[in-house]
Amino acid sequence: MSKVEELKKVVERFESARILAIGDVMLDRFITGSVSRISPEAPVPVVDLTSETFKPGGAANAISNIKALGGKDIAAGVIGDDASGRKLIDLLKQSGINTEGIIIIKNRSTSVKTRIIAGQQQIVRIDREKRNGVDLEHTQQILDFVNTKIDDIDAILISDYDKGVITNKLLEDVIPLAKKCDKPIIVDPKVGHFLDYKGVTVVTPNLNEASAATGISPINETSIRNMGQWLLTQLECDTVLITRGKDGMSLFEKDGNVAHIPTVAREVFDVTGAGDTVTGVVALCLAVGLEMKDAATIANTAAGIVVGKRGTATATKEELKHHLDVLKEK
């Protein structure tokens, strides 16, 4: 059996994977229209509305990617007691996602990103959110929920958008618990918490995040290698996977192995949420026991699919297997 056929078999096994995803869930709102004139009130375009759509965003997009690929996932995070929060829960439930770990906080608004798009161009993004850390009472509720589910899952995904869910307290408890129970823990990081991820299985920063965390400018391949090695050492993790947009990914493993995985995207329409796809797919792969290099190959292929779609997007098993076949032909 060829390597690609083996990877396609792995994709079929995703339906057995059980992932607990903890993070900053949010609602993505897309307002689409056309522009034919400039406002007389100010030098700005007037958008004639043609459609308005809503999709799960942030950590909820990573969760949606897991579900779209057949995995069983449980979402843990917080929303406000508002219409946006209810809309997000409805969207997740419509996809068959378990939302019992999402807590409603009365005096907190649900994070909403509104993108206004005219033609093929995003004109502006409006963020409505609170970024302060979730208080100890609600953090403990999340931790209690994690403790009740830890024996029923295969991996933990932490999706950190720096909107308050991922706190020092949460990481101090979740990481040791995952290690004690031998569950891989995959982190989509934010720079402000980098050193708090110490001891996780894999972190997946993009190139800008890796540069900011290490203080190393991405001048050439040597500097990128230095970033990866610095992160491995400081975080004491098994793997660092740096995503590099059009230049693919760089994989660093604690045994000294370094690999570069070139991009497979043929057309890039929208990079929104591509990082969520990567972490979601890596979590699925590790949950079914795949080695990290092969997991990175599958995740890279999935990311190449979603950047070819508009808006917050997911990849399906059928699309992923098809693109793996294309990979085999190259």
Residue 51 inside a domain? The answer is no
What b/e string do you get for 254-285 counting C-beta neighbours within 10 Å, with b at 16 or more? eeeeeeebebbbeeeebebbbbbbbbbbbbbb
Given 24, 48, 276, 294, which residue is catalytic? 276
Pick the more confident residue, 316 or 125: 125
Q: Is 151 part of the annotated catalytic residue set?
A: no
Residue 301 inside a domain? The answer is yes
Residue 41 inside a domain? The answer is no
CATH number of the domain bearing residue 237: 3.40.1190.20
What does DSSP say about strands 112-118 and 121-128: parallel, antiparallel, or unpaired? antiparallel
pLDDT of 1 above 80: no
pLDDT of 191 above 90: no
State the pTM of this model.
0.91
Residue-number span of the structural domain to which 149 is assigned? 3-29+56-112+130-329
Q: Return the residue matching tokens 């449980």.
A: 74
Which range (14-23, 268-277, 288-297) has the least confidence?
268-277
- The fraction of the chain above a pLDDT of 90, given in percent, is 73
Residue 118 inside a domain? The answer is no
Residue 44 inside a domain? The answer is no
Residue 119 inside a domain? The answer is no
Reported as a pLDDT band with limits 50, 70 and 90, residue 296 is very high
Q: What is the pLDDT of residues 212-246, one digit of tens each?
A: 999 999 999 999 999 999 999 999 999 999 998 88
pLDDT of 270 above 70: no
If one counts the domains in the chain, the total is 1
Residue 120 inside a domain? The answer is no
Alpha-carbon distance of 311 to 144, in angstroms, equals 34
Of the candidates 59, 116, 71, 43, which has an alpha carbon nearest to the alpha carbon of residue 320?
71
